[in-house]
Amino acid sequence: MKLTETFWQNIAPICNSILSHPFNQELISGALSREQFEFYIKQDALYLMDFAKALSLIAARSDGATRIIDFIKFAEGAIVAERGLHEFYLDFYGTTLDVSYAPACFTYTNYMLATASLRSYEEGIAALLPCFWIYREVGNFIFSKSSVLPSYNKNPYKRWIETYSSPEFSAVVDKMLAITDEVGSDATESTRRKMMEAFVYSSRLEWLFWEGAYRLESWKP
């Protein structure tokens, strides 16, 4: 069994909680409120920049031109492709990125950056994997449920759904999975356990990100 397959077995309950979360269930029909999605898209735009920085840190720690280029391309793709999605919705809503980090976004981005900087190279990669992999699972799940509805073409979140269920995004995820398995195959058993821990932490933070957007969370006090 591949290392990433054991990863997924360990987060299956977390992923199921993400798929069944009201935020994603309401994306299927388009019933999610504009306020909740706008909150999410702004927090995701903040997250994106730090995600790209974390990928760049892993690129800088990589050995060999091929691996360096892989992570630089991941960072570039996150900024170019996903930032375009954010800008589409900000323009659509007639708003700007006028917020600061909410608790879940702050926690997640700082965890990624700290892990990519201060923990092992292998742990850094594992901590970044859920953002790729879980988003593909969410995108494919929502597309499978949403695209068969008569109202699909009027779903205000159609562009978001099709971005994360696209073959292009899936190919990027496959590349990241292959890299993780390759890196893990050369790691010690202790390092693989730490990779698992990092992967699970980030997966839990993925759930927290959806939850925070649905609740329109704020700092207290």
**Is residue 155, in this structure, part of any structural domain at all?**
yes
The reported pLDDT for the residue numbered 79 is 87
Q: Are 108 and 208 in contact (CB under 8 A)?
A: yes
Give the pLDDT confidence score for residue 43 in this predicted structure.
97
Residue 124 pLDDT greater than 90, yes or no: yes
* Model pLDDT for residues 161-182, shown as the tens digit of each residue: 999 999 999 999 999 999 999 9
Which residue type occupies 9?
A: Q
User: What distance, in Å, lies between the first and last C-alpha atoms of the chain?
Assistant: 46
Residue 54, classified by CB atoms within 10 Å of its CB into exposed (0-12), middle (13-18) or buried (19+), is buried
190: pLDDT strictly greater than 80: yes
- Please give the pLDDT value at position 172: 97
Q: Is the pLDDT of residue 49 over 80?
A: yes
Question: Does 11 map to a domain?
Answer: no
Residue 220 lies inside a defined structural domain of this protein: no
Residues in the chain: 221
Domain for residue 37, yes or no?
Answer: yes
Inside any domain, residue 17: no
Biggest distance spanned by C-alpha atoms of the chain:
51
The domain that contains 120 carries what CATH number?
A: 1.20.910.10
Domain presence at residue 5? no
Query: Are the C-beta atoms of residues 211 and 18 closer than 8 Å to each other?
Result: no
Q: pLDDT at position 82, please?
A: 77
Domain enclosing residue 157, as ranges: 31-214
Number of folded domains that form the chain: 1
The reported pLDDT for the residue numbered 145 is 98
219 in any annotated domain: no
Count the Cβ atoms, other than its own, within 10 Å of residue 60.
12
Q: What is the pLDDT of residue 83?
A: 82
Supply the pTM of this predicted model: 0.97
| pLDDT > 80? residue 34 | yes
